[in-house]
Every structure is written in C-alpha cells, then in structure tokens.
Amino acid sequence: MKKNNLLSLAIMASLVMLFSCKSKTSETAATSENPAASETATPKGKYAIKSGIVEYKTQMMGMDMKQTLTFDDYGQKEATDMEAEMMGVKIHTVTITKDGFIYTLDMEKKTGTKISGKSPDIDFENLSEEMVKDMNLKKEGTEEYLGKTCEKMSIDYTKMKMKGTFLVYKGVALKSETDMGTMKVNLIGEKFEENPSVPASKFEIPVDIKIIEN
C-alpha cells in the first residue's frame, strides 16, 4: 500500500470520528424524541465549553492511532493532531480549522492543503430538527466516563451508512463507536482537559509547511 493511500485512510478516520453533541434548537422542538432540543440559550459555538484538549486512542481495522483534539473559542478554532504507523510507514497529520478554512497538513512531507469550509465533524450543537430526524439521533441515557457524566447518543444515518453510539460531555465526544459497513472505528478518550489555556500558536500553520490552495 502506498503512503498516499495510507494517509488518505488515516485522514478519513480522523474526519469520521471527531463528533460533538448536546444539540440546541428551538423550544418548540424540545421533546424526548428530539435530542437536539435544549432549554438553554443559543450556544456560542459547536461546544458548550470555551476550550478543551482530548487525547484519544483510535482503533480502526486492527490498527491503533494516537489522536489529539484541541479547541478554543467554543470550537471556532480546532486542531486535530494524528499519528500512526501503518505497514512500517509513519503518518503524522494535523488538521486545523479556523477563519472559515480547513488546513490539512502532512507533517512528514511538509506539505498541506487549504480549502474553504467548516469543520467536517457533525455539529450537534446547532442541528436543525430536520437534520436530527435525517440522522435518526436518539438519547440513550447517561454514562460516567473520564470522571464526567456524559450523554449517551445513538445514530443511524442511512445516507452515510453509519450506525454508532457516542458519549459526549458538553458537546465534546469523549468516546464513540461507529460502523460504516466496510469500516468500524472506535474513538477512545484517554485524557480530557476542560477549559485549559490554549496558546494561539496551536492554530498557526508551521512556517516550513508548503500550502497548496484548492
């Protein structure tokens, strides 16, 4: 398998697995059948806390990967750092989302791409009632994880052929298990810091990375 194929596989796992939750829509949608509803005010971003750092172990196709999510300003700025070794090939990618752009960086090749758009993760904080029904999201109670009381959510997203469960705390996915038919991915949070001080440099593009804009 070529390195480019390995990199694409790793990035795909990264994009699939970083989910947030505890959605908020209008008060009229606040029913037990609609997990997106909330009695609180409109959130400032995709998370209900200003900043966070989550260290994960990602299990996919019999392989383990290290992944770290760092965010600030309620998710308006995010950085996902992923490291893995596949068939003897070291992979290290960083995905930065800020200012309406997504930067995908290959830290080994020192190259990267820049495209316009928001984080590819599902933003459960700002889902419409239609999207909730489309993805068949349901609350399944609560569960303690990493010392936090998390909401357990299930998804059966037919269009994406995705089924799974998530444990989320204030919008942050601390653990998830998803099955996309041909690929099962487990995202296991091992350490979580709530509202840490995050330096602005965490979301800057390294000077030695050559960016190609698409």
The domains of the chain are located at: 3-213
Question: Which pLDDT score is estimated for 196?
Answer: 98
Count Cβ atoms below 10 Å from residue 62 Cβ, excluding itself.
Answer: 6
Q: What is the pTM of this model?
A: 0.80
Q: How far, in Å, CA of 8 to CA of 89, rounded?
A: 13
What is residue 29's predicted lDDT score, i.e. its pLDDT?
34
Q: With CA atoms as reference, report the closest residue to 124 among 33, 32, 34.
A: 34
Please tell me the predicted confidence (pLDDT) of residue 97: 95
DSSP state of 180: -
Contacts 24+ apart (CB under 8 A), 116-120: 119/18, 119/46, 119/75, 119/78, 120/15
- Residue at 180: amino acid letter: M
pLDDT value of residue 17: 42
Tell me what pLDDT residue 5 has: 46
Q: What is the pLDDT of residue 60?
A: 86
Positions in the chain whose pLDDT score sits under 50: 1-43
Quote the pLDDT of residue 178: 94
pLDDT at 62: 78
Q: Does 3-213 carry CATH code 2.50.20.10? A: yes
